[in-house]
Amino acid sequence: MFKHRPLACAMAAVVSLAFAGSASAAPPVDTTALRDAVTVDGITEHQAALEAIANANVFEGVPTRATGTPGHEASVDYVVETMEAAGFQVTEQPFVVDIFFEQSEAVFEQTAPNSVVYPRFDGVNGVWYTADFSGDGDRTASAIAVDFAEPTTVASTSTSGCEPADFGPDVAGKVALLQRGTCDFGLKVENAQAAGAVAAVVFNEGTIGAPDRNGILIPTLEGYNATIPVVGTDYATGRSLVDLANGAGVTLHVKVDGFVDQDVETRNVIAETPGGRSDRTVVVGGHLDSVHQGPGINDDGSGVSMMLDTAQAMAELGLNPRNKVRFIFFSGEEQGLLGSEYYVSQLTKKQIQDISVMQDYDMLASGNYARFIYDGNGDEQGIAGPKGSGDLEQVYKDWYDSQGLAYETIPFDGRSDYDAFTDVGIPAGGIFAGAEVVKTPEQVALYGGTAGLPFDPCYHQLCDTLANISELGLEEHKDAAVHAILTFAQTNASVHGTDQGSTTATKDWNWKGDKLVR
């Protein structure tokens, strides 16, 4: 998972929990016994098991549990066995996907006439991003502009690269500069590689007065046979390269180390309590896959292991929650929230209405952690979840307030498995310990740790092992998570969703796991 940008502190006063549709505050739930039963040691045992699975299933030289690898399949088997032994009703939900992943960092830089390393887009800053389903390769060559058209006030006027005739014999061996316009990005790339181009840079069209036609472009090439490395960039960067190419010339270095697995068979695991009101089902979600670059013991071995230990503790305590609790271990999160989107796509309208809330637990033990809460009602980050999401937000806030712990809110920006649920109007939320964003001195004052280092120094790396875990952070996050799970499992108040969240806020970018789309 990659998640969020620097955030404003949101210390809130203690507010009594009032669920949407209830006449008064919901009765408090004593979660002490379950919180005490769910321990860091118990969670760590599951994390150690997942790490052992990754180490025993090395894929392409790396211990990993990525979707489509033996390590992931073994992780699924482990979860199924654990949840069945705890007495939960377990269902495996198979589905088939094509997966594009980057095996190492991509590169886009100018080597002549100047040395310019263009910054990769991170959701806020940067000017380029790897094209989805790019071919792979490491190429340094002079660039050539292909049928560039001066921008107008009308979008989709450029036909750059749309016809084989756009590519003369001088394209061979060069990096093709392709302008957005009237045809698919994939068609442009196929035409470029057929003409002998060794790489391609697809840049935005530059339509006058249209921000979406000037900003960073992230092409998707799915459905086409891209065999050369491809990146997308904004109009300003593309235009500067066109001017250089048409002048004294420009040399570019483009590298994509990509791979596409086609028709990958994978599985979600759905495990629910035998009893409880099914019309107020509480969904608790985390993703069971890691990235290909490592074992993912924080991302998201921490959330998954908390879910497993919570389920076992519920069984050992003989808890029979008033409302059904459904633990879902999603596949394919790192490739674009594939498992959660598939799960939600298979729900009927009635099944959607029967889910009272979705709680997302992704990365709970980051080594240089913070305490982040999704801003369910949108009053701080500007993007509200469906009606009822603010109730879940308030549960976390009240809990941290009761413990004297600081926190900040983060927006619903589509970067984890809650996204498919909010899209269909299901209230959602969760907590998060931080990923690769650098901790500020102000945040050190709130949480401790080290300024200038990422919240998770091993985010999406080989070192995301047990050694990467903060036990204190895990302790604090598991208590908040378990408290919220049992609070909603035992409440006799309803949480009304099935709306579409904020109607006034807009997201310039929608994240699907690590993938960015307009």
Q: What is the phi/psi pair of residue 201, to 5°?
A: -120, 115
Q: Which two tokens stand for residue 405?
A: 């712990």
CA distances from 301 to 55, 292, 336, 420, 462 (A): 14, 14, 18, 21, 14
Amino acid at 215: G
Q: Which two tokens stand for residue 298?
A: 């924080």
- What is the C-alpha separation between 225 and 228, in angstroms, rounded? 9
Residue count (the chain): 518
Q: How many CB atoms lie within 10 A of CB 310?
A: 26
Catalytic residue among 51, 333, 393, 408: 333
H-type alpha helices, 204-337: 235-246, 301-317
- What is the C-alpha separation between 314 and 316, in angstroms, rounded? 6
- What is the C-alpha separation between 12 and 377, in angstroms, rounded? 14
- Residues with Cβ within 8 Å of residue 118, at least 6 apart in sequence: 108, 109, 110, 126, 127, 128, 233, 237
Residue whose C-alpha is closest to residue 288's, from 276, 302, 274: 302
- With vertex at residue 434, the alpha carbon angle to CA 417 and CA 325, rounded to the nearest 5 degrees, is 40
> Strand runs (DSSP E) across 273-348, as ranges?
277-287, 323-330
Residue whose C-alpha is closest to residue 34's, from 479, 429, 430: 479
Residue whose C-alpha is closest to residue 426's, from 344, 508, 361, 506: 344
- What is the C-alpha separation between 164 and 167, in angstroms, rounded? 6
Residue whose C-alpha is closest to residue 398's, from 30, 34, 15, 9: 15
- With vertex at residue 100, the alpha carbon angle to CA 362 and CA 109, rounded to the nearest 5 degrees, is 100
Residue whose C-alpha is closest to residue 129's, from 260, 233, 245, 270: 233
- What is the C-alpha separation between 53 and 65, in angstroms, rounded? 8
Q: How far apart are the first and last CA of the chain?
A: 19
Query: Are 443 and 333 a contacting pair, CB within 8 Å?
Result: no
The per-residue b/e assignment along 314-335, b for 16 or more CB within 10 angstroms, e otherwise, is beeeebebbbbbbbbbbbbbbb
Residue 333 a catalytic site member: yes
User: Which of the residues are catalytic?
Assistant: 333
